[in-house]
Structure 1
Amino acid sequence: MGIGKQTKRILITVAGGILLVVGVLLLVLPGPGLLLVLAGLLLLASEFPALERYVDPVRDRAMKAAEDSVASPLRIAGSVLAGLALLAAGIVWGTVKSLPFSGWSTGSSLILSSVILFALLIWSYRRVKSRHEAGTRASSDR
């Protein structure tokens, strides 16, 4: 194995491992845990084919969780409020020096979390909406 291929394999393994660990942590913390677990598994499975058997079950659960997150206006509102709270907390932690772990390193990670939450919320909503429209078109074609 050449040095370039070995370096690529190491980088993919490290990135996949980080995504997997962060995803597992976010299963109990607020965040897109299943989607990050899926991303980590997909990366790792590209280098370690034995992991491919775990991809489909995690993908199914991640997509179901994404759809559930936008299943009702109340859930969407809750997610938007959580994103706004993360954004506000990031600004506060970045500017108020008397808070524990204050500074822009903490603040920017909270702000980034809110951006990721909003992006995933929009993605989930569009996915559910397009599936619903496709189902409506299919039933009207009958």
Structure 2
Amino acid sequence: MSESRTRRSRSAHAARRIAATILGWLLVLAGIAALVLPGPGLLLLAAGLAVLSQQYEWAERRLEPVKVVAFKTAADGVQTWPRILASVSGALVLGALGVVWGLRPDAPEAWPLADRYWLIGGWGTGATLILSALIALAIIVYSFRRFRGVEDPESAAEQSVRKD
């Protein structure tokens, strides 16, 4: 192989490594934000750690505990009908909020700021809320099918992590 081809190959490898690192950190940061904001926080955090674990041992060590907590939370969330209904209702409200945000109705009379600060982001923000709602519903369906009616949901969650 020629020297220039080897150099290009190394450059491409370095670029992929940098891109993966940036993607991993973006997912980790989005996951941390989504732990307190609407969105699949543990899922994004686990995805970011999974990407980073391909290159960093520290991320690989932290991935399994995050996945265990994510699966335990998923299992716990479908153990009673009130929890299931609350989760589904929350996801539907989030999706409806995304639609309203995208349609961007006029600011109410009581809005204290300029109208341009009402529902900032338009369809960009609305689509993100709708996507979060769809992801939440998918996770609820998965959790219901995987963990509902299981005698020991914590044990089932830990087994799910080990399967991966």
**TM-score category by the smaller chain?**
0.7 to 0.9
- TM-score, with structure 1 as normaliser: 0.83
Aligned residue number for residue 24 of structure 2: 16
TM-superposed deviation, 1:64: 0.5
Identify the match of residue 80 of structure 1 among 88, 98, 101: 88
Aligned residue number for residue 110 of structure 1: 129
Q: Which has the larger radius of gyration?
A: 2
Normalized per residue, the structure richer in helix is 1
Distance 1:67 1:30 in 2: 19
TM-superposed deviation, 1:102: 5.3
- TM-score, with structure 2 as normaliser: 0.73
Distance 1:73 1:49 in 2: 40
TM-superposed deviation, 1:32: 2.0
Uncovered stretches (5+) of structure 2, i.e. residues with no partner: 1-8, 107-117, 157-164
Determine whether 1:128 maps to 2:147: yes
8 Å contact from structure 1 (residues 96, 102) kept in 2:
no
Uncovered stretches (5+) of structure 1, i.e. residues with no partner: 135-142
TM-superposed deviation, 1:96: 2.4
Aligned residues: percent identity? 41
Distance 1:50 1:25 in 2: 21
The root-mean-square deviation of aligned C-alpha atoms, in Å, is 2.0
1:1-142 counterparts in 2 under 5 A?
2-98=10-106, 99-101=118-120, 103-129=122-148
* Cα distance change, pair 102–54 in 1 and its aligned pair in 2 (3 A): closer
8 Å contact from structure 1 (residues 97, 103) kept in 2:
no
- How many residues align? The count is 133
Distance 1:45 1:3 in 2: 21
- The structure 1 segments of at least 4 consecutive aligned residues displaced by more than 4 Å after TM superposition are 129-132
